[in-house]
């Protein structure tokens, strides 16, 4: 094997420097090469890497070496994956430069070439601290992106295998971003990085008409998740063939309303009353609901949820400080506060480094969070933390979700008609699921098809509603009805082409004169 000069690598606490070749030839590197060969043969039999497509990369796990400094083993490009041998692998430095290349093989083998997926693999390593990345061309991962060719996401919920995806449970909605394919693999790098950044909870990215990239903390985690993703994609395809909707909690069957059969995303909702004597009334295909002042009294948010989060932020951070979830919350808050300080935002105070001690860090975080809550800021860092605090409150039966009396009946009716209902709130997706999953009317999530939060954008910006309509894959934005109590949100949605109704509820603020929107006092009027 031809080896380039390798940089110093810390092995067992000693920098190998000029002896790095010994490490490259050592057991941990060889074992990782053997592992990739074995996995490629297994994945070939699953149909994931046939026709020389697909690829695998794994970091060389060595306890004394921190993961960011571990070497990378990567399979070659354009070879028969089921016939690969350990000596066919490339060895890369932590920054992606090639340290060791395989020797050429005689005809009919092609000259060796490192995986075309290399730049994309490196993004997962850099942005997600991955330990392994799998790129599959499995048929399921290709076909599932074609079920709705306009959608930028794959969504599924209430399937057992969702539990195999990191950070997800049975009741959660699994969301996988979809990026568009290009002629050359490396051209996907920028869009993959953008998707990874936009979906912090995602552990995979689908490429339309192509395949999927899956990463995990280790090769076992990446493999497990890849198997679960392919299972879920296959389930979605089969449910689609049966006329069942994989993206809904009850995976409901084809509906027959007004003599019209409709299946999932492909329908236009039409219904009418038998004694009306009128033309069939056209209903929206999708309804997107605001929460505060629309489904839920403003007083519940302002007088119950916000005070609970404010009063429990210090207690929550102290009790969960060392968890991955809370450290992620703190990381987001640090970034937000730093930006606030640079912008001169009132109430922002510096957060000391972790070295300053847990108590000092928490004290600064509490001060910033209290200021953010007081200003009612619609920012992801605050909303994510609030969601985790409220999660504890709901689990301990200290909180119960409140909705107006007409909401459950309306959700049930719309669901029976085949109308898909989504929530769009400045509160995090977690907070939304908690509220609707724990009401005095029971779990209402069975009537909801998904949740949007500030990750799609500010609720007063037109671009946010364009993103939502594009995510839903509608032919025209007017297929979506948005219901809110806020005039600025209504104006932004209307500018994006959505149908809009303004909710008039007790405690809501006044609307401008001549606002021009249809108003309702109850969902019964929709």
Q: Is 217 annotated as a binding residue?
A: no
Residue 244, classed as helix, strand or coil, is: coil
Phi and psi angles of residue 519, each rounded to the nearest 5 degrees, phi first: -120, 155
Residue 135, marked binder: yes
Question: Per the annotation, does 311 bind a ligand?
Answer: no
Per-residue DSSP letter, 296: B
The torsion of the CA quartet 405, 411, 412, 413, rounded to 10 degrees, works out to 100
Which of 216, 234, 233 is CA-nearest to residue 225? 216
168 is in an annotated binding site: no
227/237 Cα distance (integer angstroms)? 16
Specify the 3-state DSSP secondary structure of 115: coil
Contact 166, 203 (CB under 8 A): yes
Give SS3 for 302: helix
484: β partners: 502
Please tell me whether 290 is known to bind a ligand: yes
Cis bond upstream, residue 516 (ω within 30): no
Cα-atom radius of gyration of the chain, to the nearest Å?
A: 26
Give 150-186 as a DSSP string.
T-SEEEEES-GGGGGSTT--TTSEEEEEEE---SSGG
Beta strand 286-289 pairing with 420-424: parallel
User: 522 labelled as ligand-binding?
Assistant: no
CA dihedral 40, 41, 45, 48 (to 10 degrees): 10
Residue 498 to residue 491: CA distance in whole angstroms: 10
**Would you call 525 a catalytic residue per the annotation?**
no
Which listed residue (85, 87, 160, 400) is catalytic?
A: 160
d(CA 24, CA 92): 10
Alpha-carbon distances, residue 482 vs 405, 490, 504 (angstroms): 20, 8, 14
Interacting residues of 211 by C-beta distance below 8 A, sequence separation 6+: 53, 54, 135, 136, 137, 138, 141, 142
- The Cα 136–Cα 227 span in angstroms is 10
423 burial level (CB within 10 Å; 0-12, 13-18, 19+) = buried
210 is in an annotated binding site: yes
Confirm whether residue 172 is marked as ligand binding: no
| DSSP 3-state of 422 | strand
C-alpha distances in Å from residue 100, one per residue of 21, 33, 71: 9, 12, 11
State yes or no: 40 annotated in a binding site.
no
Q: Is 303 labelled a binding residue?
A: no
The binding site for Zn(2+) comprises: 135, 137, 210
Among all residues, which ones are annotated catalytic? 160
């Amino acid at each position: 094997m031809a080896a380039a000069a390798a940089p110093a690598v810390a092995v067992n606490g000693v920098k190998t420097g000029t002896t790095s070749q010994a490490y490259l030839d050592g057991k941990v590197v060889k074992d990782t090469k053997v592992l990739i060969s074995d996995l490629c043969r297994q994945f070939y039999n699953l149909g994931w890497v046939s026709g020389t497509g697909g690829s695998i990369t794994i970091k060389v796990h060595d306890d004394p070496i921190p993961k960011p400094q571990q070497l990378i083993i990567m399979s070659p490009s354009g070879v028969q994956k089921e016939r690969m041998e350990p000596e066919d692998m490339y060895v890369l430095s932590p920054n992606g430069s090639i340290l060791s290349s395989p020797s050429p093989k005689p005809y009919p083998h092609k000259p060796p070439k490192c995986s075309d997926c290399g730049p994309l693999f490196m993004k997962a390593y850099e942005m997600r601290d991955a330990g392994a990345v799998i790129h599959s061309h499995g048929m399921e991962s290709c076909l599932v992106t074609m079920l709705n060719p306009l959608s930028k996401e794959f969504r599924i919920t209430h399937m057992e295998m969702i539990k195999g995806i990191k950070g997800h449970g049975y009741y959660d909605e699994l969301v996988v971003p979809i990026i568009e394919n290009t002629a050359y693999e490396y051209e996907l790098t920028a869009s993959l990085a953008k998707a990874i950044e936009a979906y912090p909870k995602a552990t995979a990215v689908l490429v339309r008409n192509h395949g999927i990239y899956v990463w995990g903390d280790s090769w076992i985690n990446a493999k497990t998740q890849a198997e679960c993703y392919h299972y879920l994609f296959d389930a979605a395809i089969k449910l689609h063939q049966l006329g069942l909707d994989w993206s809904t909690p009850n995976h409901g069957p084809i509906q027959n309303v007004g003599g019209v059969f409709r299946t999932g995303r492909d329908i236009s909702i039409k219904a009418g009353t038998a004694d009306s004597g009128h033309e069939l009334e056209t209903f929206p295909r999708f309804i997107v609901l605001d929460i505060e002042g629309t489904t839920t009294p403003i007083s519940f948010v302002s007088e119950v949820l916000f005070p609970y989060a404010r009063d429990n932020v210090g207690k929550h951070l102290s009790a969960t400080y060392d968890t991955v979830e809370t450290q992620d919350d703190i990381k987001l808050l640090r970034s937000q506060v730093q930006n606030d300080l640079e912008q001169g935002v009132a109430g922002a105070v510096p957060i000391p480094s972790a070295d300053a001690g847990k108590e000092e860090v928490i004290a600064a975080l509490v001060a910033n969070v209290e200021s953010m809550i007081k200003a009612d800021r619609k920012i992801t860092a605050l909303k994510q933390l609030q969601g985790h605090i409220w999660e504890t409150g709901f689990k301990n039966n200290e909180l119960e979700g409140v909705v107006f009396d007409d909401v459950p009946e309306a959700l049930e009716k719309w669901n029976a008609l085949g109308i898909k209902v989504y929530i769009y709130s400045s509160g995090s997706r977690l907070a939304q699921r908690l509220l609707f999953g724990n009401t005095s009317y029971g779990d209402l999530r069975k009537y909801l098809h998904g949740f949007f939060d500030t990750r799609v954008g500010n609720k007063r910006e037109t671009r946010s509603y364009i993103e939502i309509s594009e995510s839903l894959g509608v032919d025209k934005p007017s297929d979506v009805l948005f219901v809110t109590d806020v005039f600025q949100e209504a104006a932004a949605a209307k500018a994006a082409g959505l149908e809009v109704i303004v909710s008039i509820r007790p405690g809501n603020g006044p609307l401008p004169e001549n606002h021009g929107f249809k108003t309702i006092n109850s969902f019964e009027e929709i």
